[in-house]
Amino acid sequence: MSPKSAGLASKWGHKNILVYVDGLPAWKKGGNRIIPTVDHIANGNIVLVDLRNNAKVEKGYIPRSFSIPFAELEDAEDAFPQSLGAPIYLYSDKDAEIDAARKMIAEWGYKNTIGFYGALEAWKSAGKKLQKGPALTATDDTPITWQKKLGPGEISITDFTKSLNSELIRVIDARTPAEYESGHFPGSVSIPLEQMKARIAEIPKDKFIVVHCMTGGRGEIGYRMLKEEGYAVKFLNAECECSTTGEYEIW
C-alpha cells in the first residue's frame, strides 16, 4: 500500500502495517500485470487507447478512449504524448494485441505502458455504459496531449531539476546507501528513510527540502516526516535512474 493508505489504515486501528515502498514500478518490472480500477480508468490522469479496429470501436468503447487500431500502431508513434512518462493504458479484445502494443510502445521509450486486460467486461460489470460511434483519434499533426497533475506535497520534474542547481534548496536522497553509491543526483545528500528521524539535525531548516527515492514511495514518507517537524518540504513523485557519472533520467 502507499504511505497515504498506510496512514489511513493506522487511523482505522490496524497495527501490522507494511508499505511496499518500491511500489508499482518494481511490480511491473517483475513482469507482473496491473489490474486498474474502473474508477481510475474513468477519472484518472491517464491516456486510454483502444487497439481494436474501427468497426468494433464504433459499436461500443470506453469513454475518453483514443482509437488507434493495432494494425496502424506501428506508424502512430508521433501521435502519442511528448512526455515519455505518460501513463498509457491499452485495451483490446485480444490479449496478444495488448502484449505486442506494450512492447512496441516501450521500445519507443515510454516508461509507463499498462495493459488493461478484460477492460470491456470490467467496465460493463461495474455498471458503466460503453459509448457508441467514432472515438477520439490522434495523428502526427494532432497528437495526444498529457500533463502530470501534482498531488499535495509533490514537486514537478522541471522544478526538481532546477532545484539541483539551487543554493537555497537541499535535495535529500531517501534511498539506501548502496542505491546512493550506485548513482545519485548531483549535489544530493544521502539520508536513508530509516535513518531520517535519527539524523534530522543534519537537515537544515533554513533551506527548502526536496526528498526523493527511486519511485516516490519513500520520498512521500520522508516528506510527511519532515512536514510534521515543521520543514518547508516537497517530494518527487516520479521514477528515476541515476548513473555514477552524474547523468540521470526522470519520468
**What is the rounded distance in angstroms from the CA atom of residue 59 to the CA atom of residue 230?**
55
3-state class of 48 per DSSP? strand
Domain for residue 110, yes or no?
A: yes
Residues 176 and 226 in one domain: yes
Number of domains in the chain: 2
Which residue range forms the structural domain that includes residue 98?
33-125
68-81 pLDDT, tens digit each? 999 999 999 999 99
Task: Count CB atoms within 10 A of the CB of residue 42.
Answer: 15
C-alpha Rg value of the chain to the nearest Å = 21
The dihedral sign for the CA sequence 32, 213, 46, 40: positive
62 sits in the region (left: phi over 0; alpha: psi -120 to 50; else beta) called: beta
> Is residue 211 a contact partner of residue 235, using CB atoms and an 8 Å limit?
yes
162-193 pLDDT, tens digit each? 989 898 999 999 999 999 999 999 999 999 99
Residues 168 and 116 in one domain: no
> Is pLDDT at 6 greater than 90 in this prediction?
no
CATH number at residue 72: 3.40.250.10
Residues 161 and 246 in one domain: yes
Residues 173 and 240 in one domain: yes
Domain for residue 142, yes or no?
A: no
How high is the pLDDT of residue 116?
97
